[in-house]
Structure 1
Amino acid sequence: MNIFYYVSRIQQIIEYIIDSFWSFFIKKSMGHCGKNVMIKPSTSVFKGLENIYISDDVRIARYAVIYTTKAKVYIGSKVGIAPYLKIITGNHRTNNIGHFMFDGDIDKNPNDDKDVIIEGDSWFGINVTLLSGVTIGRGSCIAAGAVVTKSCPPYSIIGGTPAKVLKFRFSIDEVLQHEEKLYPINMRFTKEELIEQRKNYINKV
């Protein structure tokens, strides 16, 4: 073992101590934070904590940036997020005559700030970006490096820049079997709902 190993171990211990300390206060400052939530405040940025709502059993790895403006971020339960996640709920106006774009909060439109919603059982690869107004459907997988500008239906696999639906994790019948094992009946999608959600993707994925 060389000195670099020991330096790395010391760095990990320091990071763990900082994360454990600051996580308590950051979670308390959120709009809601459920049980068994892991965040890494020593290497991440969370702006607008009062607008961040996280359910139970969520893992947000290091180097995340969650930047809320006048809208909210909702993260459902059983969500795993790899490093370098970026979420932004707002945008600057680019058509405001007589104002610098730098002065972005002047005369903002209601549509400049929209909630970002991540439904439960979703999985994110490394370096994913979610832009304002996006909803990630339940059970979806987001490929590494994706820049998500549009919402996706449940059980999608999406990727690219801008991201698009590449395929679905399960067939409709498999989704019904999957959810029967995991969710109470009042939380399960019906076959009709799943067909409706996927109608725009027939023969495209």
Structure 2
Amino acid sequence: MDFAQIKIALGAIKRLFYDSRPQKLGGHGKNIYIEYPLMFHNPSNIFLEDNTSIKAFTTVLNTTGKFIMKRNSTAAQNLTVVTGNHHYVKGRFFNDSIKYRLADIEKDVIVEEDALICANVTLLSGVVIGRGCIIGAGTIVRKSTPPYSIVIGNPARVIKFVLSPEDIVEHELNLYPETERLPLNILKKHQETYIGKTL
């Protein structure tokens, strides 16, 4: 491939992903970082808050469902977000159900503040990734995750927490206003409930 062909190919990639640029998003804060190439099916339903970043080869498969990434969260390469589910319709071929969206149900996918999503993660319809979570590489998340949990695998499971409940309370003192801090009793309950639990 010569230089002219490379230039044409890069131009095609740029055009293909142009609609995903921040000005086309439903909303975005300050200091966001988006690495190309990526694909957003409906950029107007994607909301990125301050200091968020999404690395290359991210795909957000959304029609009416929203993908919301809150402040200071990061997603590594090859994140896949799926806001919808296809359902079988009696008397119709499944392919028609999908093609014409006869029984689709879409739910928002939300990544709370200060979360880290590692490479090759899939987030499925309706999932909320809790504040401060680390989602390990290759994880498929079908259910919401508690704050500050470390989640890995398929099916996803909580293997531990980033900090103890007391340390989380101390950690949040300078980061969040009092009204936004997570209460100690809830943090303790999560850590007692979720360790080793499949999500």
Summarize the alignment of residues 101-112 of structure 1 with structure 2, pairs less than 5 Å apart.
101-103=94-96, 104=98, 105-108=100-103, 112=105
* Alignment partner of 1:161 out of 148, 154, 160: 154
Determine the structure 2 residue equivalent to 1:176. 169
Give the TM-score normalised by structure 1.
Answer: 0.82
> Relative to structure 2, which stretch is displaced further, 32-41 or 153-162?
32-41
Determine the structure 1 residue equivalent to 2:27. 32
Q: Cα offset for 1:196?
A: 3.9
Summarize the alignment of residues 109-124 of structure 1 with structure 2, pairs less than 5 Å apart.
112-124=105-117
Tell me whether 1:68 sits opposite 2:62 in the alignment.
yes
Tell me whether 1:194 sits opposite 2:183 in the alignment.
no
CA distance in 2, matches of 1:28, 1:63: 19
| Matched length | 188
Give the SS at the match of 1:181: coil
* Alignment partner of 2:144 out of 123, 128, 151: 151
Distance 1:174 1:129, change over 3 A: same
Determine the structure 2 residue equivalent to 1:134. 127
CA distance in 2, matches of 1:132, 1:203: 22
Unaligned segments of structure 1, at least 5 residues:
1-6
Cα RMSD over matched residues?
2.7
Which runs of at least 4 in structure 1 moved beyond 4 Å after TM superposition?
Answer: 202-205
Q: Cα offset for 1:119?
A: 0.2
Distance 1:61 1:93, change over 3 A: same
Determine the structure 2 residue equivalent to 1:3. none
> Relative to structure 2, which stretch is displaced further, 136-145 or 29-38?
29-38
Please tell me whether the aligned partners of residues 84 and 125 of structure 2 are also in contact (alpha carbons under 8 angstroms): yes
Q: Cα offset for 1:204?
A: 5.8
Distance 1:203 1:65, change over 3 A: closer
Q: Cα offset for 1:163?
A: 0.9
Q: Cα offset for 1:189?
A: 0.9
Determine the structure 2 residue equivalent to 1:79. 73
Q: Cα offset for 1:125?
A: 1.1
Distance 1:180 1:92, change over 3 A: same
Q: Cα offset for 1:199?
A: 4.5
Amino-acid identity (%): 37
Unaligned segments of structure 2, at least 5 residues:
none
> Cα deviations across residues 97-150 of structure 1 (Å, max 9, x unaligned)?
1112222244326xx211101001000111000000100000000000001111
CA distance in 1, matches of 2:196, 2:76: 31
CA distance in 2, matches of 1:87, 1:201: 23
Distance 1:59 1:106, change over 3 A: closer
Distance 1:135 1:198, change over 3 A: same
